[in-house]
Amino acid sequence: MELRYMGFEQTQNTRCYRFDQMVKGEPTVRLTITADLALFVEHRVQIQEGPVLCAGKLAADLANSRIGSHQLTNEDLIAHLQARTTAAALKLESRGKRPRTALNARHSEATL
């Protein structure tokens, strides 16, 4: 199965992302998923991440045989942020560095 992003339509603060679901030997199926743009602002997620987040959510919904309407939720964005934070921490750990905190930054500046 392949999901192909086909664009979006926006009505006020809601974007409706369109995807085509393609399965070899079967007709293409148009799927949509909505996202409240206020959630992107609230969680400081760039709007450009919308199609990737929605594709992931659709793939998960389809893998779980969820039919009907699809929506990117607050919980989905929280999970995305947690995964991003974990990936950044693992990247720093693999380099042998600690995450820079405000306290560490002040200490570093004071010693310079």
pLDDT digits (tens, 9 = 90+) for 2-38: 999 999 999 999 999 999 999 999 999 999 999 999 9
59/57 Cα distance (integer angstroms): 5
**pLDDT tier, 102 (very low <50, low <70, confident <90, very high otherwise):** low
* Percent of the chain predicted with pLDDT > 90: 70
The range of the structural domain enclosing residue 12 comes to 2-111
76: helix, strand or coil? helix
> Radius of gyration over alpha carbons of the chain, in Å?
19
Domain total for the chain? Answer: 1
Q: What is the pTM of this model?
A: 0.77
pLDDT digits (tens, 9 = 90+) for 32-91: 999 999 999 999 999 999 999 999 999 999 999 898 899 999 999 999 999 988 888 888
70: helix, strand or coil? coil
